[in-house]
Amino acid sequence: MEAENDNKKQGWTLIDNVISCILLVYAGIVTAFICPIVFLCFFYTAAPIMLFSTEFRKFVMKIMARAGNLQFITCVRITGIKVMMSGDGLERLTDCRALLLPNHLGLFDHFIFMTAADSFGVNAVGRWIFVIYNMWIYSPLGWLWSSYGNYFIDSVPPHKRAQTLHSLRRHFDRIYHEVDLRWLCLYPEGSRLFLIQKRNSEFEKKRGLPPLTNCAYPRLGAALSAIKVLGPDPNNPLKSNNGKGPPLEYLVDVTLGYPDGNILPLNEIFMSAWRNGGGKPFAIHYEIFKMDPKWKDEEELKNFLFDRYQKKDKLLESYYKTGSFSSESKEAQFPSDMILIGFHILIMGLFALLVIFLLSFVY
């Protein structure tokens, strides 16, 4: 009897594995190729109108940012993963200009960040841009991100740093107020933690800084560039430093945590979650600070951020011991399944029409 039950369990395990593989392959293909291709076609079809109408351009970018976010959330929803939020509520910042600085642990960070942010509504996720590592730039997903203003950046040698940051400042100056953006998001550590721990350790010893275990001291280049262009003007805090519009009002220190500090590759996170009914939840913690005009000075910003990351390291240490950032954590809410299913039906239908259209030129 026990042998028969074991055989049944093995049979169900095999079925579960097959189903999970099919769903994850589907989610991966739609995320990386189908969804970006459909919306790139939409973007370039609408491009002539966007040239003459800034309002229409804002509308298109808002739709594309929202759609991209829904696809990331769908991947999380399929596997049953939960994201717990704690700290300051970002609900009051949905229509505010803010610089968000998450720590960087793994490729799943983006899924955590987007799933949590969706709880704050379309005004937040539809008017944000990211500074992203350029490993994605030559993929359809990267082309989609670029189309609505995200900026790709790579690790650069010291002699090219000034040129790279100048290009980044020009991007902020050109796009932020032109299309009325709100949240500017970047990972100030520069790369995933496991890739930079050795370099960070050398940096700590060289500067005589307290050692960090669970995060790395932030690089200042991208954050400082954002503040120099978009931060409040010390002479007139109601204007940004570039003089083109209202300034960034807040800096949000975002802390991401993985269950037990176990930072798995992206595919293993999804497979493990599927097999374990979602597994332990991931977590995100927010702390909001009023933007200080003094942070335009590199030394002032360094002092503030280095202090924050020392506190972040202790916060993460506590999280890994207790499994929670706060006793008042709440679960990030997903859009309804009907919205997610409807979104996928729409995407697959549009993709099918696109394929039929292209094939009409062949046959």
CA 163 – CA 13 distance, rounded (Å): 54
pLDDT at 285 over 50: yes
pLDDT-derived band of residue 165, with 50, 70 and 90 as boundaries?
A: confident
d(CA 289, CA 281): 26
| Number of residues in the chain | 363
Give the distance, in angstroms, between the CA of residue 102 and the centroid of all CA atoms in the same chain. 9
How many angstroms separate the first and last alpha carbons of the chain? 60
Q: Which of 4-18, 84-98, 217-231, 299-313 has the lowest mean pLDDT?
A: 4-18
Helix (H) or strand (E) holding 319: helix 298-322
Confidence of residue 72 (pLDDT cuts 50, 70, 90): confident
Residues contacting residue 78 through CB under 8 Å, at least 6 positions apart: 23, 24, 27, 274
pLDDT of residue 4: 47
Tell me which residue has tokens 């360094």: 302
Reply yes or no on whether the pLDDT at 292 is more than 80.
yes
Of 62-76, 250-264, 301-315, the range with the lowest mean pLDDT is: 62-76
In the chain, where the domains are located:
82-333
Q: Find, among 186, 225, 197, 209, the residue nearest to 306 by Cα.
A: 209
Distance CA(188)–CA(101), nearest Å, equals 6
Q: Is the pLDDT of residue 11 over 50?
A: no
pLDDT range class, residue 123, cuts 50, 70, 90: low
Read off the tokens for 233: 């003007």
Round the average pLDDT of the chain to a whole number and report it. 83
Contact 93, 288 (CB under 8 A): yes
- d(C-alpha 317, C-alpha 195), whole Å: 19
- Confidence class of residue 9 from pLDDT cuts 50, 70 and 90? very low
**Phi/psi at 159 (5° precision):** -70, -10
Residues 233-273 have pLDDT tens digits of: 888 888 998 888 899 999 999 999 998 888 887 777 777 77
What percent of the chain is modeled with pLDDT above 70? 90
Q: Spelled out in words, what is the top-level CATH class assigned to the domain 82-333?
A: alpha beta
Residue 309 pLDDT exceeds 50: yes
What is the value of pTM for the model shown? 0.87
Please give the C-alpha separations between residue 18 and each of 14, 24, 169, in angstroms, as whole numbers.
6, 10, 48
